[in-house]
Structure 1
Amino acid sequence: MSGPGAFGRLIGAAWMLVRNDALLPHELDPLYSSGTRTLGKVLRIFAGSRARLGRPGERLARSLERLGPVAIKLGQLLSTRADLFGRQFAEDLSRLKDRLEPFPIEVARAEVEYQLGRPIESLFKVFGEPVAAASLAQAHEAVLFDGRHVAVKVLRPAIARRVADDSEVLALAARLIDRWVPPARRLEPRGFASTVIRATELELDLRLEAAGADELCEVMAKDGYMRAPPVIWEGVGKRVLTMEWARGMPLSEDQALLQEGLDRKQLADNLIRAFLAQALDHGVFHADLHEGNLFVAAPAEITAVDFGIIGRLGAPERRYLARILWGFLQRDYDQVARVHFDAGYVPANHDVAAFAQALRAVGEPVFGRAASEVPMSRVLTQLFEITALFDMRLRPELVLLQKTMMTVEGVARRIDPDHDIWAASDPVVRRWMARELSPVTRIQRLAGEAELAIRNLARLAENPPMPTASVTVVEERHEGSRWFWFTLGVVVSAAAFAAGAYFL
């Protein structure tokens, strides 16, 4: 439960947004309803003298930076969607990605020495000033004694306390929304907050990030759409992480997309395909793919950094995702609708055909069109209305997937304004479907299910339900029971293989 401090911080956060005219900016008055416009004018009575200094994005960035790491994460997400909020607004928020105020290098050096247990001069030939500073940590350029160019990530001082405070406020806000805003309950504010809080907490142990980076480095190497710098394990501690230097320029820099020989279309395609290949083929994906964490080099090379947030999908979720994407690629809205019902995303009391009709209304106007021709704000509004109409609720286990999909699509749009997300997705989804629907894969899946059935039956045979009979009778029947369950298991397995062979 949150204490009085969380209530105070929540009120303080709202007050800061009001003081900076960042809650309902006056520049957007023409877009507000009459009631909202009146509320905005009332709130601006309390705005400070600096409220009108700078653009709305600059004022919001200033507010979020002061509010702490969780608020900064929200700003990073908003900064990837220039198509929704306008390019200037997104650019004003982009400083939250990697251009925050760094902490002193002396503090970073002391932290590195403490975490790694050695003088910094014995660890690095060169340890330079910070080159990027984000919400939780900053990165320093360094050189090892063997000549390798590396980046050293160091957590901010007292960041764990800041994250804990932010988490209390976020959890409190989620509970208040859940209680007092009934229409928002289907968005599962408590589940959403819990997922965000847990992901942020895991970012505070850089040993876990190193393990995630190492795992994704192996995963990415299998497809080649994206790469990750190798981890320097001797330079890893709870609050320190050392990796090889990433090739190219950070995508957050204005000059990154102006590099000579850069193929922007292929670069955008690689980004989409990298994310989908990670999620579908391997069930693990980089869940923080904003521009500050992506380095690009000609002709279309992408290197990802900052693996603090890792998303994972189980086999059922991967199958649902692939079938939904495949259905959209084939413009088979009946199939997409059935998958939503099979997965439980849409309550069973609704009509499949009606949901398919709603999906067609969303899909047909955008299919095959360039990103610059698709008004994404209108599409998202329509999707939100459809989810309300069919009682769809936010799935907490899919929060990181949905958040990353939104980020990646926004970044791809910035790389290539004419990007076609469906054409980019097709090869990865088609490959997945061909593999998963092949006879060999289906037989393997049936064999696995049969093996699991046999194990469960054997376990039941070892510990059958005890009838209300004497111990002597139970013992006499125990051996026969074993044979019965074993035979039943063989029959079930044979039936499974026969069914598989028939449907193949």
Structure 2
Amino acid sequence: MAREGALRLVDPIDLPPAARTLVGLGRLIERRSARDGAEGLARALQRLGPSYVKLGQFLATRPDVVGIQTARDLERLQDQVDPFPQELAEAAIAEALGAPLSSRFTHLGPPVAAASIAQVHRATVSDAFGERVVAVKVLRPGVTHRFGRDLQAFFRIARLIERFAPKTRRLKPVVVVETLARSVAIEMDLRLEAAALSEIAENTAADPGFRVPAVDWERTARGVLTMEWIDGVKLSDRAGLAAAGHDLPALGRHVMQTFLRHAMRDGFFHADMHPGNLFVDAAGGLVAVDFGITGRLGMKERRFLAEILHGFIVRDYRRIAEVHFEAGYVPPEQSVDEFARALRAIGEPIHSRTADQISMAKLLTLLFEVTELFQMQTRPELLMLQKTMVVVEGVARSLDPKLDMWATAAPVVREWLERNLGPIGIAENAVDELRQLARGIAAGPELLLRLERISVDLEEVVHGGLSYSEDSIQAIVGGVRRAAFWSNLALVVLALGVVVYLFR
């Protein structure tokens, strides 16, 4: 980062002396060809590897944190990373499909978009449906190895943080990295992305103004995904959207409500909704692509999300606190009333304000302090949701800087609560519970047999004592001997050290 000029973004005035010195030393090793700070940061993240490109994509959606110009320069990481050569892409596609390229495609053009994991080519196919244009996504060569190397480093850092910063253990850094590792493993198999596209298409078939590309399963494999070509304007092209006559504030509200509807209604959502992955077609509908990262919520998490958002919307901080305790997210020995007061301190400053009046950095700092005070544990199942909500809010804000997120979320949250916590939802839950009870009754005889066997085994242990095989006894003796040897050796070394110290 220092070599590429990224440290030019740092204002040394507010830094402590030691950090100021480090920044100064870093500036000494800048390349002569280093670009301006934000562009240098983008180049540095790209050179560091795909994991760091993901970080840059996230920062590009937060102009309130990194600044407008920096966010604009980082947007190139969303789909304008340097592509790999055409011949490598063709070879990778042929190998993944197990057939010559010419037998599957009549033409494969140069890459039209490239990101951290893969790049996309425009191609044509000819089959029983006639000739049509498709998008072909192919994994970068060696990307699995590079991500594995980065993840190893992340695991080492997370373990060091947990070891030397006990206060951060409630945030579960290692679990966070494990969640990232699972997400990356899924993203490396494009067949799973195709399955996600298919599931989202089924879930949203009746949703107005939203769709996803159709999958060409015949030309899809682990390293290649072929799908419908989308003609539209990217959400990152604000000038193009305005020129096409689209209502930008309405689009901002639509993006936010679409995400919330998928998360709460379906429990399955696009978890990488940066502007490079969202298009607006000629009819004004939203089209989402790149489903390599998705999130899934159970009914418990969906209810938690809905009640939390509804509580903030209607300013019922007591109910928000109760939901946290009911879900087990806050230890029971904490005070519900005090937690409600802390939530009020978070909610009141942002209520009824537009997005451009909210300091997200200040809000996150306050939230961290509050959760630390009440020993709230990090919930792995909510990590993807939290990350995506921040990104989606950033996208919506880029389209409408005065977006009121609470008013925008209210209709979707109210619809979910009425559907799932109203009479229909209560009846459906009762039917599900009766089914589970019936299954439990049916499994009763088998459970009784298991309990009988366990009681017999316990009775034999009580009357006959524990018995060990000869191998087990020898292993125990060997372990004791090894422990004694190393203990004696440590005492000898310690004694020698004392002697040397006394007679030096």
Question: Scaled by the length of structure 1, what TM-score is found?
Answer: 0.85
- In structure 1, the residue matched to 2:62 is 81
- In structure 2, the residue matched to 1:394 is 378
- In structure 2, the residue matched to 1:500 is none
- In structure 1, the residue matched to 2:261 is 277
Cα deviation, 1:236-276, whole Å, max 9, x if unaligned, reads 01111011112312223353433322111211111111111
2:96 corresponds to 1:112: no
Q: Specify the code of the residue in structure 1 equivalent to 2:45.
A: L
Cα deviation, 1:350-376, whole Å, max 9, x if unaligned, reads 111111111112212212221112222
2:449 corresponds to 1:466: no
Cα deviation, 1:119-150, whole Å, max 9, x if unaligned, reads 32332233211000111110001122223221
- In structure 1, the residue matched to 2:235 is 251
Task: Give the 5 Å matches for 1:289-368.
Answer: 289-297=273-281, 300-368=284-352
Task: Give the 5 Å matches for 1:386-465.
Answer: 386-464=370-448, 465=451
- In structure 2, the residue matched to 1:30 is 13
Contact 2:271 2:293 in 1 (8 A): yes
2:253 corresponds to 1:265: no
Q: Specify the code of the residue in structure 1 equivalent to 2:19.
A: T
Corresponding residue SS for 2:109 = strand
2:216 corresponds to 1:232: yes
Q: Specify the code of the residue in structure 1 equivalent to 2:312.
A: F
Contact 2:94 2:100 in 1 (8 A): yes
Cα deviation, 1:479-502, whole Å, max 9, x if unaligned, reads xxxxxxxxxxxxxxxxxxxxxxxx
Corresponding residue SS for 1:144 = strand
Query: Which one of the candidate residues 198, 222, 225 is aligned to 1:241?
Result: 225
Cα deviation, 1:403-439, whole Å, max 9, x if unaligned, reads 1011000111001111111121111111100011222
Distance (Å, rounded) in 2 between the aligned partners of 1:26 and 1:105: 35
**Residues 469 and 250 from structure 1, CA distance in 2 versus in 1: closer, same or farther, beyond 3 angstroms?**
closer
**Residues 300 and 36 from structure 1, CA distance in 2 versus in 1: closer, same or farther, beyond 3 angstroms?**
farther
Q: Specify the code of the residue in structure 1 equivalent to 2:341.
A: Q
Shift of 1:393: 2.5
Corresponding residue SS for 1:218 = helix
Shift of 1:349: 1.8
Larger displacement relative to structure 2 (125-134 or 25-34): 25-34
Shift of 1:44: 2.5
Q: Specify the code of the residue in structure 1 equivalent to 2:124.
A: V
Contact 2:4 2:44 in 1 (8 A): yes
**Structure 1: 5+ residue runs without aligned partners?**
1-16, 471-504
Distance (Å, rounded) in 2 between the aligned partners of 1:160 and 1:98: 19
**Residues 36 and 226 from structure 1, CA distance in 2 versus in 1: closer, same or farther, beyond 3 angstroms?**
farther
Shift of 1:456: 1.7
Distance (Å, rounded) in 2 between the aligned partners of 1:97 and 1:469: 61
Distance (Å, rounded) in 1 between the aligned partners of 2:115 and 2:224: 14
Contact 1:113 1:119 in 2 (8 A): yes
Corresponding residue SS for 2:390 = helix
Corresponding residue SS for 1:107 = helix
Distance (Å, rounded) in 1 between the aligned partners of 2:277 and 2:186: 17
**Structure 2: 5+ residue runs without aligned partners?**
457-504
Cα deviation, 1:377-421, whole Å, max 9, x if unaligned, reads 221221122122222222112111111011000111001111111
Cα deviation, 1:137-181, whole Å, max 9, x if unaligned, reads 100011222232211001111211112111211111111121122
Contact 1:435 1:441 in 2 (8 A): yes
Cα RMSD after superposing both structures: 2.2
- In structure 2, the residue matched to 1:496 is none
Shift of 1:35: 4.9
**Residues 56 and 386 from structure 1, CA distance in 2 versus in 1: closer, same or farther, beyond 3 angstroms?**
farther
Query: Which one of the candidate residues 48, 69, 73 is aligned to 2:29?
Result: 48
Task: Give the 5 Å matches for 1:365-384.
Answer: 365-384=349-368
Contact 1:323 1:339 in 2 (8 A): yes
Contact 2:4 2:35 in 1 (8 A): no
Contact 1:223 1:277 in 2 (8 A): no
Corresponding residue SS for 2:91 = helix
Cα deviation, 1:191-212, whole Å, max 9, x if unaligned, reads 1111111101111111111111
Contact 2:97 2:220 in 1 (8 A): yes
